[in-house]
Amino acid sequence: MPDSPHAETLDIETTQPREQARAAVVSVENVAVSYPSREGVFHALSDVSLRVARREFISLIGPSGCGKTTLLRLIADLAQPSTGTIRVNGGTSRQARGDRSYGYVFQTPALQPWRTALANVMLPLEIIGLAANERRARATAALMAVGLGDAASRYPWQLSGGMQQRVSIARALSLRPELLLMDEPFGALDEITRDKLNLHLTDLWRDRDLTVIFVTHSIPEAVFLSTRIVAMSAKPGRISRVIDCGLPRRRTLDIRNTPEFLAISKQVRDALSDAYANE
């Protein structure tokens, strides 16, 4: 993606000014999720608190069963906490969902096979009742933004896995949300494709002033993308450590060879090995 002319002005330090930090996009306070299971009560999440400021890129990382997907679903109002409160854009998560204030990217592309790539991107715009020509214009722009302008008329089964996931990102972007919630979107892709999409995503995040909460299993992916990394552990699912990731906002793949990158990776790895030790 070409850099926009004023991209330099966005290329500032990662530490957020105090005013912005206070106006959190997402705030999770003392949230717990538990439900009865055969072996007694299962604690999917226990006493989780997290504040996400505008233009942050947060990665949730941890072993399976640590509740990272559950936390994302709570923020998206696709699940409800047993206790605690969740605020999105200052209101409830239900209001945020009603306002279509986030875009959600799932583990699988979840494209409708009867719709072309363009028609898939237009789906949310149909739901919100946008006029047909506006739908087409916006969806075309979103497809161009993920570099799939010339695949508009192809059906999902005619696209590779990486292209399908890019269509699903375009679909999430078509609503023009400021908040993007992504649940292991690149988990099923090969390493090279994943690198390409990571680079693409970090450009989108920076150029569009997005706030992103990103679930992943991969330490390099988390360090490459994030401003903060939230390491979680299981049984009960909880936040074990939060690691600041002070890399510049403009990132290229070779940043992964810098000492800073490797140092942060080590911190994350240490935090995670503690989490896995509890298993």
Q: How many other CB atoms are there within 10 angstroms of residue 209's CB atom?
A: 10
Touching another protein, residues 126-165 (CB under 8 A): 126-128, 155, 157
Among 44, 68, 102, 214, binds another protein (CB under 8 A): 102
Task: Select the span of 25-33, 103-111, 184-192, 232-240 touching another protein (CB under 8 A).
Answer: 103-111
98 binds another protein (CB under 8 A): yes
Task: Select the span of 48-56, 57-65, 109-117, 256-264 touching another protein (CB under 8 A).
Answer: 109-117
DSSP 15: S
Token output for 24: 């959190």
Q: How many other CB atoms are there within 10 angstroms of residue 100's CB atom?
A: 13
Among 61, 71, 74, 76, binds another protein (CB under 8 A): 76
124 binds another protein (CB under 8 A): yes
Among 47, 106, 149, 187, binds another protein (CB under 8 A): 106
At residue 255, what are phi and psi to the nearest 5 degrees?
A: -60, -20
Among 34, 107, 193, 240, binds another protein (CB under 8 A): 107
Rounded Cα gap, residues 12 and 223, in angstroms: 18
Instruction: Supply the angle between the helices 132-145 and 161-173 in degrees, to the nearest 10.
Output: 130
Q: What would the DSSP string read from start to end of 144-210?
A: HHTT-GGGTT--GGGS-HHHHHHHHHHHHHTT--SEEEEESTTTTS-HHHHHHHHHHHHHHHHHTT-
Q: How many whole angstroms from its chain centre is CA 238?
A: 19
- In angstroms, give the least distance from the CB of 115 to another protein: 8
| CA distance readout (Å), 8 to 3, 14, 118, 154, 207 | 9, 14, 31, 36, 10
92 binds another protein (CB under 8 A): no
Among 57, 104, 224, 261, binds another protein (CB under 8 A): 104
Q: Classify 234 as helix, strand or coil.
A: coil
Touching another protein, residues 162-201 (CB under 8 A): 175
Residue among 60 and 272 whose Cβ is closer to another protein: 60
Token output for 11: 């290329």
62 binds another protein (CB under 8 A): no
22 binds another protein (CB under 8 A): no
110 binds another protein (CB under 8 A): yes
- In angstroms, give the least distance from the CB of 172 to another protein: 9
Q: Which residues bind another protein (CB under 8 A)?
A: 73, 76, 78, 97-98, 100, 102-104, 106-108, 110, 112-114, 123-124, 126-128, 155, 157, 175
